[in-house]
Amino acid sequence: MLLYKDEYQCWLENAVEDDLHSLLRKMSQEEIEDAFYKNLAFGTGGLRGTIGAGTNRMNVYTVAKASQGLADYLVKKFSRPSVVIGFDSRIKSDVFARTAASVFAANGVLTHLWPHLNPVPTVSFAVRYLSASAGIMITASHNPSKYNGYKVYGEDGCQITTKAAAEILGEIEKLDIFIDVKRLDFDAAVSEGKITYISEDVLTAFVENVKNQSVLFGEKVNRDAAIVYSPLNGTGLIPVTRTLKEMGYTNITLVEEQRLPDGAFPTCPYPNPEIREAMALGLEYARRCNADLLLATDPDCDRVGIAVKDDRGEYVLLSGNETGLLLLDYICSQRAKHHKMPDNPVMVKTIVTMDLAERIAADYGVRAVNVLTGFKYIGEQIGFLEQAKKTDSFVFGFEESYGYLSGSYVRDKDAVAGAFLICEMFSYYAAHGSSIWEKLQELFSRYGYCLNTLHSYEFDGPAGFEKMKNIMRRFHEEAGPGKTLASLGGKKILKVLDYSQGLSGLPKSDVLKYLLEGNCAAVIRPSGTEPKLKVYISVSAKTKAEAQEVERKVVGDVERVLR
């Protein structure tokens, strides 16, 4: 732990930006400790934290220090290093992007900067398209407005590996945040060609790759479905609407209050399509327009949530698992129907994603690969296929947190393509006298009902961090066959998968998966980007009501350990 009072005094003397200096002078002792008790953690997810003054905050100094460490890493690894930088609509995202660019330019790293905000997948795409050494995305994904972050990609367009993150962190930790960071004047660096703006041709190439994910293979469908779309004040407006319109979907109504970029997210304080509150305004629009389909993408446009009408004409929000299952089945059925299934096809999902996906994949002869939580591990699997010259074998990847990918053109989840494929799937079923809702019920009828839920528990500050560590220790020591906690929700724990041991060749990660009787499971893990403990519960049952009752009991048993 840092000597936070000394660190605070150092910042008072050296942080010259007016806004930061003002924040520093107004801090209480409690605020000082929370802002300086540690450095903002850098890992495979890069940086993420609340915006403000301090070593444990997102600000121009922590961004510049991370950029200097990454620059030092790139200079050692590459003879002519280069980087792609993108940013979203969040508060200070453009400032942090320019700050990072000025550091890279000062260190001789050629910098390609998106001239305007763009989605996460465009950074992954541009890294590959421009043959860059690395990529940076300034974003905090779906977090509340007080957050921002710094996501790092490798030269393959995939988020950095554990090994690369450790090496970059090693470089960062060598640095004094005020003395060792090099920076050029941004405008001077642009005029000298050390920072170049990425051309619109690259965005066009990205959109063309998205459009190529269609699996209609010449079939005609009715594209006049009434669609309501919300970018949730983020980056999705231009690429999503452009893709849909170019593919013939023109009956699109935008949620006006959430159309333009706004990092304050005034109508959805938690801009995450996973939660009902973020979708509420979109649902109002859908009812008013009698829309067939509601789409919403999160601020950095790598997640997409949807609502469709059920058999009573009521709008129902689908979970990420349900949408992923539907897309998997649609893509595989179309490929099989048109004899477009590749040799040795592969589907990749995370260990917390609905296991029902494996049974659907198996019915199409598709091999299922399970990876740790985080889309970077799905991207990594595509990279392995690429190394073996079998990239075409990848047919789909998804995670329960509303992330989908059907092609290898990027190595991160892509809500632009996700939104497009959902619209195509909807139009296809409508043209064949069915619907997304009816197809979902058909899948449950065929494979059995499955309920997957996520529960998050926040642990803020240094005391919360210690409590979260103690809770994980208790689960490791007390839960499992023959232990104090031998069952969850009345379901015996049959087996414990402890991923901290590096199971199945996966990197070591503090994740516990409890396999319960009756094809049920619970996964417990600390978030890698937020001060949260996440609990994923999967319940198989004959009916939805029965599954909900079992799930309620499992949650109760887990929360007793959390107290």
Q: Return the C-alpha torsion angle 158, 86, 409, 509, nearest 10.
A: 20
Write out the DSSP string of 76-135: HH-SS-EEEEEE-SSTTHHHHHHHHHHHHHHTT-EEEE-SS---HHHHHHHHHHTT-SEE
Q: Is the dihedral of CA 125, 126, 132, 133 positive or negative?
A: negative
Taking 80 as the threshold, does the pLDDT of residue 528 lie above it?
no
Those residues with Cβ within 8 angstroms of residue 437's Cβ, 6 or more apart along the chain or in another chain: 308, 309, 310, 311, 316
Q: Which residue has the higher pLDDT, 469 or 297?
A: 297
pLDDT range class, residue 529, cuts 50, 70, 90: low
Tokens for 46, please give them. 């890069």
pLDDT at 470: 92
Phi, psi of 368 (to 5 degrees): -100, 130
**pLDDT of the residue at 80:** 98
Would you place residue 19 in the very low, low, confident or very high pLDDT band (cuts 50, 70, 90)? confident
The band of 325, judged by pLDDT with boundaries at 50, 70 and 90, is very high
In angstroms, the CA 106 to CA 182 distance is 6
Structure tokens at 552: 């309620």
Place of tokens 């051309």: 199
Report the pLDDT averaged over residues 217-236: 96
15, 21 contact by CB (below 8 A): yes
pLDDT over 80 at 310, yes or no: yes
Would you say residue 1 has pLDDT above 80? no
Task: Tell me which amino acid residue 554 is.
Answer: V
Taking only the tens place, the pLDDT of each residue in 183-208 is 999 999 999 999 999 999 999 999 99
Which two three-digit tokens encode residue 374?
Answer: 């985080």
User: Which residue reads 């050629």 in tokens?
Assistant: 110
Please say if 141 is a catalytic residue. yes
* pLDDT for res 43: 83
- Mean pLDDT, the chain, rounded, equals 95
- Assign 544 a pLDDT band (cuts: 50, 70, 90): confident
Residue among 141, 230, 393, 408 flagged as catalytic: 141
Q: How far is CA 41 from CA 14, 37, 165, 220, in A?
A: 22, 12, 11, 50
Give the pair of three-digit tokens for residue 146: 């007080």
Instruction: Give residue-wise pLDDT tens across range 270-280.
Output: 999 999 999 99
C-alpha closest to that of 48 among 16, 107, 88? 88
* Average pLDDT of span 292-315: 97
Helices and strands (H, E) in the chain, number of each type? 18, 21
pLDDT at 161: 86
pLDDT in tens, 546-562: 999 999 999 999 999 98
| pTM for the model | 0.92
Convert the pLDDT of each residue in 343-401 to its tens digit: 999 999 999 998 899 999 999 999 999 999 889 999 999 999 999 999 999 999 999 99
Helix (H) or strand (E) holding 303: none
Mean pLDDT of 478-482: 92
Query: Rounded to the nearest 5°, which phi and psi values hold at 147?
Result: -95, 155
Beta strands in 334-448 (DSSP E): 346-350, 367-371, 394-399, 403-405
Q: Edge-to-edge strands of the sheet including 195-197?
A: 47-50, 147-153, 134-138, 82-87, 110-113, 195-197
